Amino acid sequence: MKFFVDTANLQDIKECQELGILDGVTTNPSLMAKVGITGKDGIFSHYKAICDIVDDNVSAEVIGTEYKDIIREGEELAEIDPKIVVKVPMIKDGIRAIKYFSDKGIRTNCTLIFSAGQAILAAKAGATYVSPFIGRLDDVGSDGMALIEQLVDIFANYGFHTEILAASVRHTMHLLQCAEVGADVVTCPANVIMGLLKHPLTDKGLATFLEDAKKLSL
Ligand code: E4P
């Protein structure tokens, strides 16, 4: 299972990268705005800074919603660094653009997926990743995890190469359930990844070992 961190915060990205378990980063316009990045140059150099920290897989989202704009923006984003994955919204022109990018060998992440039908379309168009949003489905009383399970079954039936990137992962249980049902990737905030480290019995056990180690005259 790949771990992506869902943030544009360079410090959080560095912290996860230093742990040695990070496979990529996802961003979106809201996350970029949250760290105060503005203007095309600022945004592009921020993407470059992210690429310089991680090994691969930096999702950078297009803003355009018309085919021509998505293509132009996606090609510009892909020029920033070979680690860039162009993030495209799940709309009609987005699917057409994913097909275009796929034919050109540009990797894509189809975002804002809320149904199996949407994911199948994106996979058929050649998306590298599809991003079903678990937390936002849960927010409106739907079962986000049920969608992940459904996609794992469907993609296995047809041997789609597209990877299921579980997004809008809000807490540790989401992440663990994704692992159980076989999502290829999870993307979540750094605190969710770091939360996996914690267990009170680990802290208690370590305190005891360190105390007893004092008796060993090392
Ligand atoms: C990632 O690709 C998504 O944009 C992100 O996971 C959305 O998460 P949210 O629903 O917590 O904003």
Rounded Cα distance, 90 and 82, in Å: 23
What is the 167 CA–ligand 1 centroid distance (Å)? 6
What is the 66 CA–ligand 1 centroid distance (Å)? 22
- For residues 122 and 110, the answer to whether their CB atoms sit within 8 Å is yes
Rounded Cα distance, 141 and 29, in Å: 25
Q: Which atom of ligand 1 is nearest to the CA of 167?
A: 6
What residues are labeled active site? 87
Q: Which atom of ligand 1 is nearest to the CA of 87?
A: 2
pLDDT band at 173 (very low <50, low <70, confident <90, very high): very high
Taking alpha carbons only, the member of 49, 59, 196, 46 closest to residue 129 is: 59
Query: Using one digit for the tens of pLDDT, what is the confidence trace for 89-101?
Result: 999 999 999 999 9
What is the 191 CA–ligand 1 centroid distance (Å)? 14
Residue 96 is predicted with a pLDDT of: 98
Token pair for 6 = 């869902």
Q: Amino acid identity of 78?
A: A
Query: Using one digit for the tens of pLDDT, what is the confidence trace for 135-167?
Result: 999 999 999 999 999 999 999 999 999 999 999
The string over 46-59, giving b where at least 16 C-beta atoms fall within 10 Å of a residue's C-beta and e elsewhere, is bbeebbebbebbbb
Arithmetic mean of pLDDT, 98-116 = 98
| Residue 7 Cβ contacting ligand 1 at under 6 Å | no
Total domains present in the chain? 1
Q: Which atom of ligand 1 is nearest to the CA of 135?
A: 10
- Asked whether residue 218 carries a pLDDT value surpassing 90, the answer given is no
* CA dist 52 → 25, 55, 58 (Å): 12, 8, 10
Which residues, in sequence order, are bridge partners of residue 24? 4
Which residues, in sequence order, are bridge partners of residue 133? 167
Rounded Cα distance, 200 and 204, in Å: 6
CATH number, position 127: 3.20.20.70
What is the 24 CA–ligand 1 centroid distance (Å)? 14
pLDDT band at 26 (very low <50, low <70, confident <90, very high): very high
Range of the domain at 44: 2-217
Q: What is the largest CA-CA distance in the chain?
A: 71
- For residues 166 and 183, the answer to whether their CB atoms sit within 8 Å is yes
Q: Which residue owns the Cα nearest ligand 1 atom 1?
A: 167
